[in-house]
Structure formats: C-alpha cells, structure tokens
Structure 1
C-alpha cells in the first residue's frame, strides 16, 4: 500500500505529514527523536483498516520547529490539535508511542471533547528518583562539529539506547533485554536525529518533564488503551498506574508485532469521522511514473524554469524561490526501483514528466564535479560502526579545497570559499549525500550527454 507525503502550512509554520490507507482517519504521533517515517511499516499494515495520517512533530523530520525557546508538553500537545484542525479532523482517534503518546495524553486530558479514542504505546509513570535519569543529562546538546565528531556521538548514542536505559549510563544494572547492533535498523533513526539537529532536545525535554497526565478514575473522557511490549522499559510502568477512567484498558504484548496488532484491533472499535485532509498547493510530492521510475518526487517553489541539483545533492542546497525538485534517489524523493539507471534517457523521462506536471518550460543543471564517479561517490552503505557517516563528512570537507575531492595534493588544490568549512553548511551537504542512493548513476548518466 502506497504512502503519500504532503505539506500543510499552519500560520507561519510548515508541517510535513504522511498518509496511507482507506477507512476512518487515524492520527499517528511518533516518538522523539524520530519522524513520521517511524510509522512506514505500521501505516502499510494499518492502511487496510484506517486512513493513517502521521505528521512530523515540530522540529522533527521535515516540520518547522515551534517558535518557542523552550517548548513544553502543552506546546507540543497544542501543535497536535492545531494540525488536526488544519488537516480537517472533526473527532480524533489517535495512536502515539512514547513521547508521541505523552503529548497526545496531555491533549486528551485538557481537551477530551476533541477525541474519539486514544491508544498509547509505552506510557511512563516515573518514580521521583527515576526522573533524574531522564533530565538534562539525557539531552546532550547536538551541533555539527568541524571534523564530524557529532556523527560518532549520534551513531553510538542511538545504538546504545537499545543496550542501556538511560543510554548514557553503561552499567550492569541498566542493561536492556533486547540489545541490537543492526545498521539497517539504526541508520534511519540516526538520520532522523541528524535532520532534527539540536531541536531534538525540545521534544525529549517536553515529554520527559511532563507530569503524569492520565485523567483520574472519575473523569468523563473518551476510551483509551495503554499498552506496551515486553522489551520496552516502560512496560514495568503499567503496574504503577492508579485506577483508570471507565472504558480505559491496559495490556502487555510479547513483541512489537503483537503490540501493533492489539492496538489496531482496539482502535477499530472506535472509528473517527471521515474527511479529506488538506495540504499546501505550492510544494509537496508528485506521483511520477516514467522511465522505469514509479514513486514520489519532492518539489518546491514557483517559476517556468526547473533548476536541478547535481549528483549527491538536493533541492535545499540550490537556494532561492525558483522551481526545484529532488531527483529520484536524492533528497526526499523516492529511490529508483532496483538499480538506479546510468542511462540518461530514463532520467530525462522523469524530468519531462515533472515539467509537464509543473508547467516548466526549461531546465537548468548544477555543474558536475570533476573526477572518477566511483571515487566521487563511494559506497556509503550503513555499517555496524557508522563509518559511512564519517567517510561522507571527510569526503565533503576535502571537496571544498581539492578537485577531485578524493585526490589531495598541491596540484589538486582549489580556492577555498568563505564559509566552505562552516559545520552547519557541511551538515546540510552531508545529509544530502547520505540520502543519495543514485548519485553515482546520475553522474554517469549526465556524463553520457556531454
């Protein structure tokens, strides 16, 4: 089942969301520091029963942060309700995991009339002495560093959160029951952290400093389902809950798959009113079938000239307000199915299809880098130790002073632009390169047109 992606502007803030499925609408709120991409698998399963709508929380994924220096639980909860209003919900059935569930619980407690039903995975009930473990020490500042030091921290911080709770206390008493070191699982989590930057702390801080917002037993509130699975450290918290309101249930499942199935079954008992979600008209994602490509193309801007980024880059590196896209296998666009084509005809077919949909009359291209495509764009497949992240950073840093960027010598030195080594600039270029699964193929394809 296909997931579509959209933007929705609320005031001055743009929100990105994913949508999938048929049936009554269901709002999904992700945990920190993830994005709505966390729910890709769930949406494809639950899409048989619901129209799943999953926004990126403020400051996460592709959503703008809140214009608040230190947002609270209430601020994030209010942002959920603002999105629901703008999207078109008239009654909210929702699921949230960890901090996503914390924000939803706060919203329901203060505005129960807005909800039809709520399911939460891993809702916490901390003892006072445990709160020290999830305070500011849990929220290390995160800023790009000149030599990529932040990448090593990001990889290992996300890796070891499956080993210890909290992640920064590697002690025997803190061991988790289901540790892993799977780069396929870890890489998208780290990419979400890199995309959020230091804003990741706002969502965490707001959630971890929240009070216990479960309404008292006598409260007049819609039904809720509070559950978890065995390996989740929040599972033990269920036994700490005080008496719950009428119609509220708790459960423990053996694993994430059983947890997902139980929550879907429970939510199906409380369908929300249907509606057609709203989205922006001046940016978003086009469905394109051309040249063997069948997927979503990310686009932005206005004009009759389509500006295309170079291999391993993305539209946000071009700048300006003109019409731009992320080419397949780059930026936020979908990858090519199978091996990316090194034949320019396939790429041209996609570009032509985009031009037709967006009424573009002409196309411009960023210049190609000089050098061997195999060395310009080495294999950056995620590995166990996160070396792919550091290698990409080092390659980009060298590229600002040498051409080709893999050859460092007196003869290959190039002028160093002002700001070229700015860590924030390198971080944007790094995200684009790491996201690029078709950079080498695009470079070869463009070389063939010379």
Structure 2
C-alpha cells in the first residue's frame, strides 16, 4: 500500500499551524477537501493518483489538525490562507483538485492568485439561490459545544448519519431525500471524529463557503483552465445549470458516477498539470510524524531531549513535555503490531536518551477500556463519554462506590475537558488495553 506521510507547517510570520498529508511522486497536485471534513477524506484517492502526482492535501483552517483563522473569516480569507500555505510549502505553480466546498475555496484562490495554479478540477460547484440560502439560515450551522452529560453526541451522530439521507440535512421531507443514502457506521464515525476535532470552529469554515458570492471568473478572465463535473446522486448536480458563462478555457458537464468524475478529473489534470517533479516540501522541525517500519508515530518537542515522555493508556501526549509522542494506536499515531518496538524505534529516531514509561492505572483492563466498536446507533460515543466523566470522580472509574472516590477537580469536569478525554478514548479504542498490558509487563505487574 502506498504510504501517506503527515506533516505540520507553521506559516511564516504567524503562529498558525497547517497539517497536511502527502504521497506519490511527480508534479505537485494540491487537493482541497470539503467542509466539515479534513484531508483524511482524500486518503483513498491520494493512493490512486499517487503514480501520477505528488498529492498534497492540507487540512483547511479550523478543520482536522490545522489551526483556525482569527475573527470571522470569509471565503477570501480562506483563499488567502491557501495561498500562504502554497508559498510556505514551496511547491510553485501546480495543479489543484477540490470537491464541493473545496472547489469553492479553490475558485476564490484562483481569482486572487491565478499564477499559483496550472489547472483545476472540481467535483460539484454550489450556486445557491436566495430561497435556498433562506432555508439554510442558522439551521444549517448550529452552535456545537460539548455538554456535561454528552447530549451533544446524540445530535452529532444523527446529524452526520442523516446528511446522506436529506439535503439540507435538517429538511426531513420526501422532496429533500438524496439518492446516496447509507447507514455505514464507519463512514459516520470518520465524520464524527472530524467534527470532534473542529468543535464549534466548523461554523467559520463551513459558513464562509456557504456565504461566498458565486461570482465565477468572467468569459475573458485570465485564469488557468478548469473542469467542473458532478455525478448522479450528488445534490450539486443540478447546480451545473446555474454556473452561467464560464471562462473560455473552463468546461462543466455531468457524469454518471463518482468513478467517472475521478477518471475525467485525473485525465484533465494529467493533460494540463504536468511539469517538473515536486520539490522538497517545507515542514516544522518541532512536530511531525515518524515514518517507521511500524507505522506513523506522531511526535512533538525537541529532538535529542534526555527523555521521551509517554502518556497513560486511552490518553494522548502531554504537550508540556520537552519530547513526547502519541503512543501507537493513540492520538494521531497509527497502529503498530508491536507497540513496544515502535516506541523504542521512535525514541531512537528522536535521539532520546531514555523512555519515561507511564504507570498503568489501577483496575481491570477489561473494565477500564470498554468496547468502543462503532455501532449503528452511536451508543459507543456515550460509553466513551460516560467513562471519561466518571474517571474524574472515581478510581478506577467503573468502581462507583464510597471506597473509590477521588478528590473532585472542577477543571476535569468541564465539558471541554471531558470532550478531550472522550476523543482520546475513541481514538485509542481497543489499543488502550494492549498498551496497558505492555506497561504491566514493563513494570512487572
């Protein structure tokens, strides 16, 4: 399988971090995801296109692992941020691909700085009517904040499940039904985790796209060529007829399937987006992912520090440490067949003199880490939340009795704090139990 690497890049002159994925070889291809998703949605497509391009997919501001923009950004701010990323990355003029709102950001960017792009392929381009925008209103982007008892997760599960059933997602009428309905728990879970990463910042990025004026470049605009296609079942298919006059080197037409959309997009990009191989790409020196034979390991801090700090099971790295990793299977690290060997390899690669192994918590591992397998009704989300709330009251958390109370720390019971712990549990899943057993062996337990 083609390896996708992950990187962090701080935009010069700012403290804003951008996370991006990369794979493949050949000319650079910039891939901009839709909202409220992240670059993770392109992993399968990146592997397919890797033989033809060096695929580079950033998380747009406020999504995935990228920092949000300040204040109340509009589409021009997201376009400018994309241009800043390209400049900082050092890729020069390149081809670009965007799906839905990713295409809206690209069109805004190509109008601002056409010299950055050689060509552009877009999957579906929204042109909302005034009536549709009125229907969207505030209902489409409600405030989304963690609540003390996890009620927000019930809404989130159904919101992400039903967005393939109706469009807009809240318009529960036969006339609003979509032809791409599914009930795949894994697909819903991926969208859930991306929303848990973004939090309420999702409203800024998504809202900027929805409010963006649909003033496409005029017929004589000096812009690079573009192809816009939409497939059967895509709610934006009817929007192809709303595009109006396009630049002479742009074209738009329907296709039958997502596969046909991808095939035509790739052929278009290959025809016009060729060029020099992708140069070496810039990335931060104090955070990244180690591409080890055991998998990708997320790290942060100072290489060569005396100690590599490890977090406890079902948690994530402590950002206050001089050098830390997300243990394989936890946080932003991939899984590893041998967790211990992966940790040792990471310590060696980072130049740490020793490993500060965490101490496993007291309790039965089978009870400390409940089954968080994704299910059709989203019950696993509430198991993660309940455990993360109870662990601020009892030790072990599942032993809710007078003999197991711990001193209350009000900060640990803030919904945002529970949210972070629940997200860490969900990311770790059953890997937390494996890591716990490793720590028991190391400590002679």
Give the TM-score range, shorter chain.
over 0.9
Where does 1:75-224 land on structure 2 (aligned, <5 Å)? 75-224=77-226
On the 8 A contact 2:224/2:249 being kept in 1, the answer is: yes
CA contact (8 A) 1:183 1:383 kept: yes
Alignment check: 8 A CA contact 1:135 1:208 kept: no
Choose which of 430, 433, 439 in structure 2 pairs with 1:440: 433
- 1:232 partner SS: coil
Q: Does 1:287 align with 2:279?
A: no
Per-residue CA deviations over 1:280-318 (Å, capped at 9, x if unaligned) read 1111001122xxxx2110000122211101111111xx2
1:77–1:107: 8 Å Cα contact kept in structure 2?
yes
Offset, 1:261: 1.7
- Cα distance in 1 for residues equivalent to 2:407 and 2:346: 36
Describe the SS at the equivalent of 2:135.
helix
Return 257-266 or 34-43, whichever deviates more. Answer: 257-266
The answer to whether the 8 A contact 2:316-2:326 is kept is yes
1:401 aligns with one of 389, 393, 401: 393
Q: In the TM superposition, what whole-angstrom CA distance separates every residue of 1:92-124 from its partner, at most 9, and x where no partner exists? A: 311111111101101112222222111111101
Aligned to 2:10: 9
User: What is the rounded CA distance, in whole Å, between the counterparts of 2:6 and 2:140 in structure 1?
Assistant: 32
User: 2:355 corresponds to which residue?
Assistant: 363
Given the alignment of the two structures, is residue 40 of structure 1 paired with residue 43 of structure 2, yes or no?
A: yes
SS at match of 1:385: coil
- Select the residue among 376, 381, 392 that pairs with 2:373: 381
Instruction: Give the Å deviation of 1:237.
Output: 0.4
- 1:137: Cα distance to partner? 1.8
CA RMSD, Structure 1 to Structure 2 (Å): 1.3
Whole-angstrom distance in 2 between the partners of 1:80 and 1:357? 32
Counterpart of 1:19? 22
The answer to whether the Cα contact below 8 Å between 2:370 and 2:383 also exists between their aligned partners in 1 is no
Match of 1:328 in 2: 328
- Offset from partner CA, 1:38-65 (integer Å, 9 cap, x none): 1000000011111000001111111111
Unpaired stretches in structure 1, ≥5 consecutive residues: 338-345
Q: Which moved more, 1:103-112 or 1:1-10?
A: 103-112
Question: 1:251 Cα deviation (Å)?
Answer: 2.4
Q: Secondary structure at the match of 1:360?
A: coil
Give the TM-score taking structure 2 as reference length.
0.95
SS at 1:74 equivalent: helix
Pairing of 1:286-365 with structure 2 (within 5 A): 286-289=290-293, 294-302=294-302, 303-315=305-317, 318-337=318-337, 346-365=338-357
Range moving further from structure 2, 40-49 or 402-411: 402-411
Aligned equivalents of 2:257, 2:137: Cα separation in 1: 28
- 2:280 corresponds to which residue? 276
Partners in 1 of 2:35 and 2:149 — Cα distance? 26
Is contact 1:6-1:285 (8 Å) kept? yes
TM-superposed deviation, 1:385: 1.0
- How far 1:163 moved relative to its partner? 0.9
Residue 268 of structure 1: SS of its match in structure 2? helix
Q: Report the number of matched residues.
A: 435
Q: Is the 8 A contact 1:106 1:213 kept in 2?
A: no
* 1:105/1:213 contact within 8 Å kept: no
Judge conservation of contact 2:160–2:188 (CA < 8 Å) in 1.
yes
- Alpha-carbon shift at residue 178 of structure 1 (Å): 1.4
CA distance in 2, matches of 1:115, 1:18: 19
CA shift for structure 1 position 125: 1.4
CA distance in 1, matches of 2:231, 2:336: 35
Give 1:321 shift.
Answer: 4.1
CA distance in 1: counterparts of 2:343 and 2:23, whole angstroms? 26
> Which SS does the other structure have where 1:420 is aligned?
helix
Match of 1:340 in 2: none
8 Å Cα contact 1:176/1:231 also seen in 2? yes
CA distance in 1, matches of 2:83, 2:53: 19
Q: CA deviation at 1:21?
A: 0.4
Q: Contact conserved, 1:297 with 1:333, CA < 8 A, in 2? A: yes
Partner-residue secondary structure (3-state), 2:62: coil
Would the aligned equivalents of 2:357 and 2:439 in 1 still touch at CA under 8 Å? Answer: no
